[in-house]
């Protein structure tokens, strides 16, 4: 079983607005509301890939109730800690005419110490039956930036594999706790290493730099694919995987699906190159649909067959 942990769960609303322009009045041509947050998006994708998954985290107020109801309606097993403060909402505006989207996120609820302790106990309980625990997304107010790092160290002692997908200081501190895998997107990885990426060499250097922070494996996701540093048979491999060109409807959450695809493939025992093809195929398939974490598994399989995987040379010191 895989457990996903979403501390800053949200109710995500995606509006399709053709020819969106700032400062103008618009009428949305379509709207979709889903339980969201990075960990929930990953859980949704894992469910579609037939991987046993349980979503946990923090949920509060009427929005928190709606999040749990929506997950239950999607048949995604969940076991959230209820908190007093209201969970957040987020809004994404997708403009299909320009292949562009705009996202607006709320900060999230204030979390009390006793609520956080209940979550730690919940994670311990669920981890007893789990192969992997995925910590994903931002941290709400009242949660220390080293929360992920402490949780990862605790689970490492319990011999449970951990995955981290976050940003900023929580990502840096969490990587130092030696998780099995970290999976930032390009923007998050650039912020972590302190420079922009322009070519394969920049990505390869970033993979090494993040690995040196403590992460045992690294996956940097992009809209077009990913770069990866993965350990197999005590050997480090640096790989790139590029998706075939397709016309995207929305790229919101595509990195979450890519990570889920990779975890599902490794869960099934696929070799690294096949796992990356499956991951990038799933991420690409998700861009064809509106709503984070949603995709057609058959389309993912079709796209995976056209993904190009190449091995990268280490950057000379």
Does residue 202 form part of some domain?
Answer: yes
Task: Give the integer Cα–Cα distance in Å for 317 and 307.
Answer: 30
Question: Which structural domain, as residue segments, surrounds residue 6?
Answer: 2-21+28-311
pLDDT tens track for 269-282 = 999 999 999 999 99
Interval 66-75 mean pLDDT: 97
Q: Would you call 171 exposed, middle or buried from its count of C-beta atoms within 10 A (0-12, 13-18, 19+)?
A: buried
- State the pLDDT at residue 317: 66
Q: What is the pTM of this model?
A: 0.94
Q: Shortest CA distance to 7 belongs to which of 105, 109, 75, 155?
A: 109
pLDDT tens track for 1-33 = 999 999 999 999 988 898 998 888 998 888 899
| Number of domains the chain is built from | 1
CATH number at residue 276: 3.40.1190.20
Interval 108-118 mean pLDDT: 95
Mean pLDDT lowest among 2-6, 118-122, 310-314: 310-314
Whether the Cβ atoms of residue 162 and residue 179 lie closer than 8 Å to each other: yes
Task: Give the integer Cα–Cα distance in Å for 87 and 89.
Answer: 7
Interval 185-208 mean pLDDT: 95
Does residue 241 form part of some domain?
Answer: yes
177: confidence class by pLDDT, cuts 50, 70, 90: very high
- State the pLDDT at residue 43: 98
Does residue 281 form part of some domain?
Answer: yes
Does residue 105 form part of some domain?
Answer: yes
Q: What is the CA radius of gyration of the chain?
A: 19
Average pLDDT, whole number, for the chain?
94
Does residue 317 form part of some domain?
Answer: no
Which residues on neighbouring strands pair with residue 36, listed in sequence order? Answer: 10
pLDDT of 99 higher than 80: no
Whether the Cβ atoms of residue 283 and residue 33 lie closer than 8 Å to each other: no
Does residue 147 form part of some domain?
Answer: yes
Does residue 316 form part of some domain?
Answer: no
Interval 293-304 mean pLDDT: 96
């Amino acid at each position: 079983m895989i457990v996903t942990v979403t501390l800053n769960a949200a109710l995500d609303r995606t509006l399709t607005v053709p020819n969106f322009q700032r400062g103008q009045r618009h009428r949305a041509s379509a709207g979709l509301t889903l339980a969201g947050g990075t960990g929930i998006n990953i859980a949704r994708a894992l469910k579609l890939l037939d991987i046993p998954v349980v979503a946990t985290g923090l949920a509060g107020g009427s929005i928190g109730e709606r999040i749990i109801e929506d997950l239950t309606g999607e048949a995604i097993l969940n076991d959230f800690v209820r908190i007093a403060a209201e969970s957040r909402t987020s809004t994404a505006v997708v403009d299909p005419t320009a292949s562009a989207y705009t996202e607006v996120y709320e900060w999230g609820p204030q979390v009390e110490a006793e609520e956080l302790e209940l979550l730690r106990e919940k994670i311990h309980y669920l981890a007893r039956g789990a192969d992997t625990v995925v910590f994903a997304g931002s941290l709400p107010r009242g949660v220390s930036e080293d929360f992920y790092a402490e949780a990862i160290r605790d689970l490492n002692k319990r011999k449970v594999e951990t995955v981290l997908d976050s940003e900023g200081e929580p990502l840096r501190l969490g990587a130092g706790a030696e998780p099995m895998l970290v999976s930032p997107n390009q923007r998050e990885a650039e912020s972590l290493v302190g420079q922009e990426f322009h070519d394969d060499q920049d990505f390869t250097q970033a993979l090494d730099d993040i690995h040196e922070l403590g992460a045992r494996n690294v996956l940097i996701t992009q809209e077009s694919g990913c770069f990866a540093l993965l350990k197999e048979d005590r050997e480090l491999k640096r790989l790139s995987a590029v998706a075939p060109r397709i016309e995207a409807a929305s790229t919101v959450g595509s990195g979450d699906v890519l990570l889920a695809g990779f975890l599902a493939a490794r869960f099934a025992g696929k070799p690294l190159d096949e796992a990356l093809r499956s991951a990038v195929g799933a991420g690409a398939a998700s861009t064809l649909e509106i709503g984070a974490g949603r995709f057609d598994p058959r389309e993912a399989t079709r796209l995976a067959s056209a993904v190009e995987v190449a091995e990268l040379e280490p950057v000379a010191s």
